[in-house]
Amino acid sequence: NAGVTQTPKFQVLKTGQSMTLQCAQDMNHEYMSWYRQDPGMGLRLIHYSVGAGITDQGEVPNGYNVSRSTTEDFPLRLLSAAPSQTSVYFCASREDRLAGDLPLPTDTQYFGPGTRLTVL
Amino acid sequence: ELKVEQNPLFLSMQEGKNYTIYCNYSTTSDRLYWYRQDPGKSLESLFVLLSNGAVKQEGRLMASLDTKARLSTLHITAAVHDLSATYFCAVDLRGGSEKLVFGKGTKLTVNP
């Protein structure tokens, strides 16, 4: 298993440019999420998905879009990059077990290696 | 809104000493995670604590969870240099909200 993979590792954008951060996992996990990490701020949840075709907003979703067309892939799109989006981005996946209508996490999250994004 | 507070945020200690990192959270949750992050690296899972009174140990690290006090601790015994890293706790909101909220992290430096 490759686990959770992210590309690119580094990226520099100019303000207003758009790009997609790629994330893939080969563990057949239903739950995937995107976080950003800024100095002194811990990690903050941007968007998450509990399965293919289902996405929802996290704590800091503005300026980002996601889609989940397959279980394996969960790309994060920056529509019009801003300097405030300079950060390190981590993708994570986790196995979930459904109980009624509520998914229950049964395992920890596995994090990808991260993408370091700079917006000038 | 769930808030997660870690303290201390910075910890410098000598090899061989013991210390505890605290993680307080503001609303009910029965699921808490501890992670380690080395500089420039991703997060590595250390412990998953799933119920009140849960205690887990791995090497020189031991984590516990008190859901009534809304407190988790990460205890370091006889620290060694290799434990130098940033440690994060993260809390899962009850009710299947699927949103992990992280503390700001504790940067631990173990000096020879």
Judged against a pLDDT cut of 70, whether residue A101 lies above it is answered with no
Q: How many contacts (CB atoms, under 8 Å) link A and B?
A: 56
Residues in chain A: 120
Specify whether the CB–CB gap between A35 and A46 falls below 8 A. yes
Low-confidence ranges of chain B (pLDDT < 50): 95-96
How far away is chain A from the Cα of B50, in angstroms, using its nearest Cα?
Answer: 9
Higher pLDDT, A29 or A102: A29
Q: What is the tens place of the pLDDT at every residue in B76-106?
A: 999 999 999 999 999 986 544 567 889 999 9
Q: Check residue B44 and give its pLDDT.
A: 92
Higher pLDDT, A8 or A104: A8
Judged against a pLDDT cut of 60, whether residue A11 lies above it is answered with yes
The span from the CA of B109 to the CA of A88, in Å, is 22
Specify whether the CB–CB gap between B22 and B6 falls below 8 A. yes
How far away is chain B from the Cα of A17, in angstroms, using its nearest Cα?
Answer: 25
The span from the CA of B59 to the CA of B51, in Å, is 21
**Per-residue confidence band for A103, with pLDDT thresholds at 50, 70 and 90:** low
Q: Residues of B at the A interface (Cβ-Cβ below 8 Å)?
A: 4, 31, 33, 41-45, 48, 88, 90, 92, 95-96, 98-105
Specify whether the CB–CB gap between B83 and B14 falls below 8 A. no
- Chain A interface mutation, best of B29, B43, B48, B87, highest count of A Cβ atoms under 10 Å: B43
Amino acid at B4: V
Q: Check residue B1 and give its pLDDT.
A: 76
**Per-residue confidence band for A70, with pLDDT thresholds at 50, 70 and 90:** very high
Rg of chain A over Cα atoms, rounded to whole angstroms, equals 14
Backbone angles phi, psi at A31, to 5 degrees: -95, 125
The span from the CA of A7 to the CA of B99, in Å, is 24
Distances (CA, A) of A25 to A12, B20, B37: 24, 34, 20
Judged against a pLDDT cut of 70, whether residue A2 lies above it is answered with yes
Q: Kind and range of the H or E element at A21?
A: strand A19-25
Higher pLDDT, A99 or B36: B36
Judged against a pLDDT cut of 90, whether residue A74 lies above it is answered with yes
Q: Check residue B97 and give its pLDDT.
A: 52
Judged against a pLDDT cut of 70, whether residue A73 lies above it is answered with yes
> Which chain A positions have a beta carbon within 8 Å of B8's beta carbon?
none
The stretch A62-75 carries a mean pLDDT of 97
> Which chain B positions have a beta carbon within 8 Å of A45's beta carbon?
99-101
Judged against a pLDDT cut of 90, whether residue A50 lies above it is answered with no
Amino acid at B2: L
Specify whether the CB–CB gap between A33 and A109 falls below 8 A. yes
The stretch A50-70 carries a mean pLDDT of 94
The span from the CA of A96 to the CA of A110, in Å, is 13
Query: Is the four-CA dihedral A118, B1, B6, B7 of positive or negative sign?
Result: positive
Burial of residue B112 (number of CB atoms within 10 Å: 0-12, 13-18, 19+)? exposed
